[in-house]
Structure 1
């Protein structure tokens, strides 16, 4: 007998991964019955997973129209990048005195797996790295805001990587600097390194425009 909860989680994980990775192209239609047939499940877990992804901002759905993967919007990507540039360095500062040794060890473990990783694999490790820091703020409001921003930001980040790759080595070095500053409980340094870690918005817009053309 099928487990609806497990099916929903499996569909959610698979569909989210396909959207992030570009297998489901921006703007492409998502038909519940087609997805259910492709994934070998009933329509119910597909409908539930799609509802979750609407809430995450990865799918758009309106009455009497087919659901679609969200469109690429460089202007929106820049807005989200600018908001994260304000909030994530602040979150990193807040986390500096609150993060536990266990969480720092988790950051080091993730950092150790990043060299040699690329594409969606690296992005997933990077996402988990940053979420540990965000959750270490112990601030539910800030965690909620940044989780929502990062869900959509990741969509654009992976698209930008598909456009012309990324400097993984530079980002890995910055992760090492963040960990070192967290270990020293140096809030000023953590905040500064996190701010420098973000891609300039003008560069993000340029890379996304490559995909539009």
Structure 2
């Protein structure tokens, strides 16, 4: 893996030398997944030459992928030492989530004011799928619905500046959100919060939608802190 010898744990499977070279977008996706899942750990060095060999990518595509991940806050550039996986403390993750709460509450409020009949049905359908996922204990389906719901709300809101800021913030705290999503019982706990957000927007009640979103992300912040304290 593109790491120094002192930090070589968590290596994904090496690509065969005969494999086609991956694109910068694909490499970025694979590195992002490795960071989120914990295969690549905080402060782990990412060396361009090693990454190129490990993933079958060109050096140019490696640089593009690292630049993109840097903009998302997942890695950081260190002078004279290259790139490394960015370490985010639990306290910083909580603060990031609190800022997200303010921005996503704004988006939920705006979405309630702008939502169309078609979008209302889309939101309710996501809610039905998330409910079914909890019923069948399908964490993967629930997580997919969670991501889809938040993305759709931001899209409906039309708040482009907030959308870009939320994307960066979410990327920085994504490891903690991943751990939280794996916590037993968490989907059942967060489902009513998501359904309340959906109901507020679909009822075109801007205050209810904003309050429900704020309550949800407050809960996420509390759970991140509790999970890290007990770890």
Q: TM-score range by the shorter chain?
A: 0.7 to 0.9
- Cα deviation digits, residues 157-212 of structure 1 (max 9, x gap): 124446x555111222322222222221122221222122122644422323455x
Cα distance between partner residues in 1 of 2:58 and 2:104: 40
1:65 matched to 2:81? The reply is: yes
CA contact (8 A) 1:58 1:155 kept: no
Aligned pair count?
207
Alignment TM-score, normalising by the size of structure 1: 0.83
* 1:48-83 per-position Cα deviation (integer Å, ceiling 9, x unaligned): 111100011000112211311111312211211221
Matched, 1:156 2:172: no
Structure 1 segment 30-109 matched on structure 2, within 5 A: 30-109=46-125
Q: 1:80 to 1:200 in 2, by over 3 A?
A: same
Larger deviation, residues 127-136 vs 50-59 = 127-136
Distance in 1 (alpha carbons) for counterparts of 2:49 and 2:125: 40
TM, length-normalised to structure 2? 0.77
What residue ranges of structure 1 are gaps of 5+ in the alignment? none
The 1:36/1:71 distance shift into structure 2, 3 A limit, reads same
Aligned residue in 1 for 2:212: 193
Matching of residue 174 in structure 1 with residue 193 in structure 2: yes
Aligned to 1:145: 165
Correspondent of 1:129 among 134, 146, 149:
149
- Of the structure 1 ranges 105-114 and 185-194, higher mean CA displacement relative to structure 2 is found in 105-114
Q: Distance in 2 between matches of 1:170 and 1:160?
A: 11
**Which deviates more, 95-104 or 35-44?**
95-104
**In 2, Cα distance between equivalents of 1:210 and 1:72:** 17
SS in 1 for 2:23: helix
Distance 2:142 2:62 in 1: 27
Instruction: Give the alignment partner of residue 23 of structure 2, picking from 1, 4, 7.
Output: 7
Rg larger for: 2
